Structure 1
Amino acid sequence: MIRQILPIIAAACMAPCLAAEGWLTDMDAARKEAAERKKNLMIEFTGSDWCAPCMQLRANVLTKPDFQQEARKNFVLLELDYPRRKKQSAEVKAANRKLAEQYGVTSFPTIVFADASGKPFGGFVGGRPREDVMKAMQDALKNKEALQMVEAEVAKASTDEARAVALMEVFKLAPRDYVDNFYGDVKAEIKKLDKDDKSGLKAADIRAARLQKERKDVQDYLTGKMTAKTPSAESLQAIRAYPDRTSFFRNPGRI
């Protein structure tokens, strides 16, 4: 009897971590497997029961045996689902929500190629045919190799100037969408070493902060002037009355 029950218990324990087509569904389990097998992660952020491009990508590419055979040479496959009708435990919902925030996911499907720790080195957003997905995967692997080469140059740098130059190469290769959350240490060290701001990172941060403030000012202004029930004519008048701040952006160096 015990021998008959054990396989059932084991299957029930494994089910939450394994998607229907062999994709893992738990980040910790995927990281562990990737580290043990010295592979990377291919992370799929999907809305499996409502997102049409997600369903097409999965049906036409991600579940195909030939694609999975090729992908598994270098990647552990991880599906993070955000369904609307399918049941999920509160723990899975919370964990997936946190990961979506960490990776800055704003639309589905989003595919992230990352190392075993979860640090991205490539990815794409939206549905794509098999050829494009394969190309994106190969481009990401090439980018990881390039990153490893320049990271080795960082380790060998003997002066602050040489280190800053090498770090800047890392920064250039880092996927733009993941710089702040995953390469923030690189950016911070460049700014620290680059006292004359030859990289332009300090100036870029100042401009970004000003733009963010401007957006908030606009939002606060419009919130104070109109509501959902405000007539169109009044809304248009309020928009036209907003102060002209184009001179602010013509002189980004002015405080």
Structure 2
Amino acid sequence: MKKLFSAILMVVFAVGIHAQSRLENAQKLALENKELILLNFSGSDWCIPCIKLHKNIIESDEFKKLETENVVVYINADFPRNKKNQLSPELKKENALLADQYNKKGLFPYTLLLNPEGKILKSWEGLPAENASAFSKEIRDIKENQK
């Protein structure tokens, strides 16, 4: 009985450690480095505006500088449909929890700029009208105004 109880405790403890979400990790990192968090909800294999957002903005050098220069921590909450692109059950669950908290309408793409406490500073519904440079500049300006 003791062994069974010990095994159950170990599993619960392991799940508890793993349950720490990307958002919680991003919040800690953002707080330490005085960064903002960019949370993007996407359908990477079915949502054309999502695909364009990633190709034209997220994968751009201008956006990558935001990450390397400690301006933002980026989180992608992806909801692929194709079987070959499916995420792990843990990641699916985490993305669903993020959607429950921040994307109740189920918009795609939907991008949020958050402070380290998780407060929404700016949101973009759909594909942002800005190009990568303007998008990145807007984020930098918001960060500067947070000081």
TM-score, normalised with respect to structure 1: 0.43
Per-residue CA deviation, residues 202-222 of structure 1 (Å, 9 max, x unaligned), is: xxxxxxxxxxxxxxxxxxxxx
- CA root-mean-square deviation: 2.3
Per-residue deviation, 1:30:
1.6
Query: Does 1 or 2 have the higher relative contact order (CA < 8 Å, sep 6+)?
Result: 2
Written as runs of structure 1 = structure 2, the 5 A alignment for 1:18-167 is: 26-70=22-66, 72-85=69-82, 86-103=85-102, 104-128=104-128, 129-130=130-131, 131-134=133-136, 136-138=138-140, 140-141=142-143, 145=146
The runs of at least 4 aligned residues of structure 1 exceeding 6 Å deviation read none
Structure (1 or 2) with the greater strand fraction: 2
Per-residue CA deviation, residues 104-123 of structure 1 (Å, 9 max, x unaligned), is: 35211111111112221112
Q: Check conservation: 1:30, 1:41, Cα contact below 8 A.
A: yes
Q: Secondary structure at the match of 1:80?
A: strand
- Distance of 1:111 and 1:135 partners within structure 2: 16
Q: Secondary structure at the match of 1:118?
A: coil
Structure (1 or 2) with the greater helix fraction: 1
Per-residue CA deviation, residues 95-139 of structure 1 (Å, 9 max, x unaligned), is: 111111111352111111111122211121111242552354246
Per-residue CA deviation, residues 152-211 of structure 1 (Å, 9 max, x unaligned), is: xxxxxxxxxxxxxxxxxxxxxxxxxxxxxxxxxxxxxxxxxxxxxxxxxxxxxxxxxxxx
- Distance of 2:105 and 2:36 partners within structure 1: 19
- Bigger radius of gyration: 1
Q: Secondary structure at the match of 1:79?
A: strand
Written as runs of structure 1 = structure 2, the 5 A alignment for 1:175-194 is: none
Q: Check conservation: 1:39, 1:76, Cα contact below 8 A.
A: yes
Q: Secondary structure at the match of 2:80?
A: coil
Does the C-alpha gap of structure 1 residues 43 and 105 become closer, same or farther in structure 2, counting only changes over 3 Å?
farther
TM-score, normalised with respect to structure 2: 0.70
Structure 2 unmatched runs, 5+: 1-20
Q: How many residues are paired up?
A: 121
